Amino acid sequence: MRSQQSMKNIRIFTIYGVLAFFSIMYLIPLFWMISTSLKPNEQVMSIPMKWFPNPPQWKNYVDAVKSFPFLRYAGNTLFLTAMNVIGNMFTASLVAYSFSKLRWRGRDTLFYITIATMFIPGQVLIIPIYILFTHLGWVNTYLPLIVPAFCGGGAFNIFLLRQFFVSIPDELLESARIDGASELKIFFKVILPLSRPALFTVALFTIVFTWNDFFGPLIYLHDPSKWTLAIGLRSFQQQYSTDWNLLMAASTLTALPLIVLYFVAQEKMMRGFTLRTGIK
Amino acid sequence: MPKRRSKYFRRKTLIGYLFAAPWLLGMSLFVLGPIIATLFLSFTTYDMINPPRWIGLVNYKILFSLDPSFWKALGNTFYYMFGSVFLKVFIGLFFAILLSNALRGMRIFRTIYFLPVVLPSIPVMFLWMMMFNPKSGLINQILGFFGVEGPLWLNSPVWSKPAMILMSLWGIGGIIVIFLAGLQDIPEYLYEAAELDGANRVQKFWRITVPMLMPVIFFNIVTGLIGASQVFAESYIMTGGGPLESTTFVNLKIYLLAFKDVKMGYASAMAWVMFMILVPMTILLFKIAKKWMNY
Do B16 and A247 make contact, defined as CB atoms within 8 angstroms?
A: no
Residue A258 contacts B where some CB pair is shorter than 8 Å: yes
Minimal-distance CA residue of chain A relative to B131: A29
Q: What is the pLDDT of residues B168-199, one digit of tens each?
A: 999 999 999 999 988 988 888 999 999 898 88
Crossing angle of the two packed helices B33-41 and A123-135, in degrees rounded to 10: 90
**One-letter amino acid of A155:** A
Alpha-carbon dihedral B262, B265, B271, B277, rounded to 10 degrees: -150
All residues of chain B having their beta carbon less than 8 Å from the beta carbon of residue A98 are 16-20
How far are the Cα atoms of A130, A178, B148 from residue B268, in angstroms, in the given order? 12, 53, 45
Distance CA B165, CA A8 (A): 35
All residues of chain B having their beta carbon less than 8 Å from the beta carbon of residue A147 are none
What is the rounded end-to-end Cα distance, in angstroms, of chain A? 38
How far are the Cα atoms of B125, B176, B190 from residue A62, in angstroms, in the given order? 22, 37, 59
pLDDT band at residue B292 using 50, 70 and 90 as cut-offs: low
pLDDT band at residue B7 using 50, 70 and 90 as cut-offs: confident
Task: State the pLDDT at residue B5.
Answer: 65
User: What's chain A look like in SS3?
Assistant: CHHHHHHHHHHHHHHHHHHHHHHHHHHHHHHHHHHHHCCCHHHHCCCCCCCCCCCCCCHHHHHHHHHCCHHHHHHHHHHHHHHHHHHHHHHHHHHHHHHHHCCCCCHHHHHHHHHHHCCCCCHHHHHHHHHHHHHCCCCCCCHHHHHHHHCCCCHHHHHHHHHHHHCCCHHHHHHHHHCCCCHHHHHHHHHHHHCHHHHHHHHHHHHHHHHHCCHHHHHHCCCHHHCCHHHHHHHHHHHCCCCHHHHHHHHHHHHHHHHHHHHHHHHHHHHHHHHCCCCC
Q: Which among B5, B111, B119, B230 is the top mutation candidate for probing chain A, defined by the most A β-carbons within 10 Å of its own β-carbon?
A: B119
Q: What is the pLDDT of residues B17-55, one digit of tens each?
A: 999 999 999 999 999 999 999 999 999 999 999 999 999
Task: State the pLDDT at residue A278.
Answer: 47
Minimal-distance CA residue of chain A relative to B270: A124
On average, the pLDDT of chain B sits at: 90
Distance CA B290, CA A258 (A): 38
* CB distance A201 to B90 below 8 Å: no
Residue A252 contacts B where some CB pair is shorter than 8 Å: yes
Do A124 and B271 make contact, defined as CB atoms within 8 angstroms?
A: yes
pLDDT band at residue B215 using 50, 70 and 90 as cut-offs: confident
Task: State the pLDDT at residue B136.
Answer: 85
Task: State the pLDDT at residue A3.
Answer: 75
On average, the pLDDT of chain A sits at: 90
Q: Which of A32, A44, A152 lies closest to B131 in CB terms?
A: A32
Distance CA A196, CA A25 (A): 36
User: In a 3-state reduction of DSSP, which class is residue B44?
Assistant: strand
Do A121 and B275 make contact, defined as CB atoms within 8 angstroms?
A: yes
CB atoms < 10 A from the CB of B125, how many? Answer: 23
Do A95 and B22 make contact, defined as CB atoms within 8 angstroms?
A: yes
Distance CA B75, CA B253 (A): 13
Distance CA B57, CA B80 (A): 29
Do B216 and A214 make contact, defined as CB atoms within 8 angstroms?
A: no
Q: What is the pLDDT of residues A50-92, one digit of tens each?
A: 888 888 889 999 998 998 899 999 999 999 999 999 999 999 9
Phi, psi angle pair for B45, to nearest 5°: -115, 130
Q: Could you say which residues from 183 to 222 on chain A have a Cβ atom under 8 Å away from some Cβ of chain B?
A: 183, 187, 208, 211-212, 214-215, 219
- The distance of A165 to chain B (nearest Cα, Å) reads 14
**One-letter amino acid of B144:** G
- The distance of B38 to chain A (nearest Cα, Å) reads 6
**One-letter amino acid of B113:** Y
- The distance of A6 to chain B (nearest Cα, Å) reads 16
Would the pLDDT of B1 be above 50? no
Do B103 and A279 make contact, defined as CB atoms within 8 angstroms?
A: no
User: In a 3-state reduction of DSSP, which class is residue B53?
Assistant: strand
Q: Which among A4, A21, A277, A280 is the top mutation candidate for probing chain B, defined by the most B β-carbons within 10 Å of its own β-carbon?
A: A277
Do B19 and A183 make contact, defined as CB atoms within 8 angstroms?
A: yes
Instruction: Quote the pTM value.
Output: 0.90
Distance CA B128, CA B238 (A): 9
Q: What is the pLDDT of residues B77-124, one digit of tens each?
A: 999 999 999 999 999 999 999 999 888 889 899 999 999 999 999 999
Cα-to-chain-centroid distance, residue A162: 20
Cα-to-chain-centroid distance, residue A103: 32
Q: Is A151 exposed, middle or buried (0-12, 13-18, 19+ CB in 10 A)?
A: buried
Minimal-distance CA residue of chain B relative to A115: B27
Distance CA A81, CA B75 (A): 35
Distance CA A101, CA A107 (A): 10
CB atoms < 10 A from the CB of B230, how many? Answer: 18
Task: State the pLDDT at residue B295.
Answer: 44
* CB distance B115 to B173 below 8 Å: yes
| Interface contacts A/B by beta carbons within 8 Å | 265
Q: What is the pLDDT of residues A136-176, one digit of tens each?
A: 999 999 999 999 999 999 999 999 899 889 888 888 888 88
All residues of chain B having their beta carbon less than 8 Å from the beta carbon of residue A153 are 22-23, 26
Q: Could you say which residues from 45 to 104 on chain A have a Cβ atom under 8 Å away from some Cβ of chain B?
A: 45-49, 91-92, 94-95, 97-99, 102-104
Do B48 and A123 make contact, defined as CB atoms within 8 angstroms?
A: no
Distance CA A199, CA A197 (A): 6
Residue A254 contacts B where some CB pair is shorter than 8 Å: yes
Which residues of chain A fall below pLDDT 70? 1-2, 275-280
All residues of chain A having their beta carbon less than 8 Å from the beta carbon of residue B195 are none
* CB distance A187 to A94 below 8 Å: yes
- The distance of A149 to chain B (nearest Cα, Å) reads 9
Q: Which among A32, A41, A120, A127 is the top mutation candidate for probing chain B, defined by the most B β-carbons within 10 Å of its own β-carbon?
A: A127
Distance CA A39, CA A248 (A): 10
Task: State the pLDDT at residue B135.
Answer: 86
Task: State the pLDDT at residue B4.
Answer: 60
* CB distance B160 to B245 below 8 Å: no
All residues of chain B having their beta carbon less than 8 Å from the beta carbon of residue A131 are 37, 48, 264
Do A274 and B110 make contact, defined as CB atoms within 8 angstroms?
A: no
CB atoms < 10 A from the CB of B114, how many? Answer: 21
Phi, psi angle pair for B53, to nearest 5°: -115, 125
Task: State the pLDDT at residue A49.
Answer: 80
Pairing outcome for strands B44-45 and B53-54: antiparallel
Minimal-distance CA residue of chain A relative to B174: A273
Do B116 and A26 make contact, defined as CB atoms within 8 angstroms?
A: yes
> What ipTM was reported for this prediction?
0.88
Do B19 and A95 make contact, defined as CB atoms within 8 angstroms?
A: yes
Q: Which residues pair with A101 in a beta bridge?
A: none
Q: Which of B22, B138, B282 lies closest to A32 in CB terms?
A: B138
- The distance of B158 to chain A (nearest Cα, Å) reads 23
